[in-house]
Structure 1
Amino acid sequence: MKQARVITLERKNRVGYIVINRPKANCYEINFHKQLIACLEEANADDEIKVIVVKSALEKFFCAGADIKVFEANTVAENKVMVKHAQMVADKLSNSPKVTIAAINGHALGGGLELAMACDFRLASEGKYFMGLPEIKLGLMPGNGGSQRLIRLIDKSKALELLMTGDHMDLRRHMKLDW
């Protein structure tokens, strides 16, 4: 069965736009990660592209992290593969030879916030939306390097508060150099 296309690569003026479009909240699953990895590899291989921007096609969500319904339906082995792919995405973004930017225009939660933190820069639009790691409230730790990246990006005490409580925050207020 052919998987729906939820991640696309668009090119404009030497910028590669990786566009996430998986309604309702851009939650990820294995197909999402495979497509994102393929788009990252394609953008990294394109000499015309100098900057990669990861953005959402949705109005209210950048990315809400793992699709909990898929996660609950999966076997443990399937979830391990999904987590491994999420880690690969974060590593590929962090280690890209191109400048990577997360254009955050909505909620960035869990793995979605980790996706944004893996980029070199994060630009957050004005708006009433949240950023956070709600998996903490489920007894889970961020699985894609989020705890290490968060402490490098915001004040240590605010990072620890977020990592211990799982509360949502307006992280833009706490980011160094305007996030």
Structure 2
Amino acid sequence: MSLIEIERREAGAATIAIVRFNNPPKGYMNAAMVGELDAAVDGLLGDESVRVLVFTGALKGVFIEHYDVSELLALSEKLRAKGASFSLDRLSPESGYHRILARLEAAPKPVIAAINGTAMGGGFEFCMACDIRLAERGPYWLGQPEINIGILAGAGGTQRLARLVGEARALELSLMGRTVSPDEAASLGMVHAAVDGPVLDHALTMARRLAAQPPRAVAHIKRLVRSAAETPLSQGLAQERTLFMDLAVSDDGHRLMGEFVAGTRTIRD
């Protein structure tokens, strides 16, 4: 059984890739799934016909429950037997999962999380690496409860959550190990919206719109916005005006601005 299922849907001249996480019965992320996900992400990001990636769960009510704790416990036992210790003086290297999340953030293509159920721990860390997060309303739980089993969110949870909801709220959620409903997640800014199901329909409506946008403009905007928090303002402004000019002379930019001036296109959606 494949743990990662890929479906391609045509959207005009472009393709939308739907990637489903399928690991019954509990919907855990584990090392085998990470391996399949790595290959899937590589292939889809390298396919120029694919304009948008949409990730969702194949199991009813589950996006990714969380990372498989039995694997983490086995790793703990192995390292403890070796007498391993860790310090900020010697940083731990990235794992395959860390690299996947970083690639999705840096990718020139939009990435949507269609959260069809519970997404905790490593599951919600995946969601936070996506550009757009839509959560289906229901008895589902989102967030970073790792402290409740003695660890912390180790795949970007502390860093990305603070950037989404602010330091104070991220501390409260992470220190209390509190998970939230889709509606509360939307009110806090953890997801863009809570929607009545099925969430995939909402995600595909957005994906079709994104797939129709000029891909060069999409890539430039994503790059600038994604790097804004870590880039000095003067440098970010210089990059912005440079990429603005690059789009102004591009085929799509020249054509679409011409249509607007001719009165055959509106600038509003």
Measured against the shorter chain, the TM-score band is: 0.7 to 0.9
Distance 1:148 1:45 in 2: 28
Question: What secondary structure is seen at the aligned counterpart in 1 of 2:50?
Answer: coil
1:10 aligns with 2:7: yes
CA contact (8 A) 2:6 2:19 kept: yes
What residue number does 1:175 align with? Answer: 189
1:43 to partner: Cα distance: 0.6
Tell me how far apart the structure 2 counterparts of residues 98 and 161 of structure 1 sit (CA, whole Å).
Answer: 33
Given that residues 25 and 62 in structure 1 are in contact (C-alpha distance below 8 angstroms), is that contact kept between their aligned partners in structure 2?
no
Residues 1:102 and 2:113 are matched in the alignment? yes
Kindly report which structure 2 residues correspond to 1:48-87, keeping only aligned pairs within 5 A, or say none.
Answer: 48-74=49-75, 75-76=78-79, 84-87=95-98
Once residues 73 and 161 of structure 2 are traced to their aligned partners in structure 1, the CA distance between those partners, rounded to angstroms, is 27
Alignment-derived partner of residue 205 in structure 2: none
Residue 72 of structure 1 and its aligned partner are, at CA, apart by 2.5
Q: Secondary structure at the match of 1:37?
A: helix
User: What runs of 5+ residues in structure 2 fail to find an aligned partner?
Assistant: 81-91, 194-269
Structure 1 runs (4+) deviating above 6 angstroms are: none
Q: Is the 8 A contact 2:132 2:191 kept in 1?
A: no
Kindly state the Cα deviation for residue 155 of structure 1 after the two structures are TM-superposed: 4.3
Larger Rg: 2
Indicate yes or no: 2:145 matched with 1:134: yes
Distance in 1, Cα, partners of 2:62 & 2:104:
20
Q: Tell me the TM-score normalised to structure 1 length.
A: 0.87
Aligned identity (percent) is 33
Displacement of 1:57: 0.7
Aligned partners of 2:56 and 2:63 also within 8 Å: yes
1:137-148 → structure 2 map (5 Å cutoff)? 137-148=148-159
Structure 1 position 70, deviation (Å): 2.8
User: Which whole-Å CA distance do the structure 2 matches of 1:126 and 1:51 have between them?
Assistant: 23
Question: What is the aligned-residue RMSD (CA, Å)?
Answer: 2.1
**TM-score of the superposed pair, with normalisation by structure 2:** 0.60
Q: Which has the higher helix share?
A: 2
**In the alignment, residue 8 of structure 1 is paired with which amino acid?**
E
Structure 1: runs of 5 or more not aligned:
none
| Residue equivalent to 2:161 | 150
Q: 1:31: how far off? A: 1.0
SS of equivalent to 1:168: coil
Indicate whether 1:45 and 2:46 are aligned.
Answer: yes
Decide whether aligned partners of structure 1 residues 17 and 137 sit closer, same or farther in structure 2, where only a CA change above 3 A counts: same
Judge which range, 66-75 or 14-23, deviates more.
Answer: 66-75
| Aligned residue in 2 for 1:20 | 21
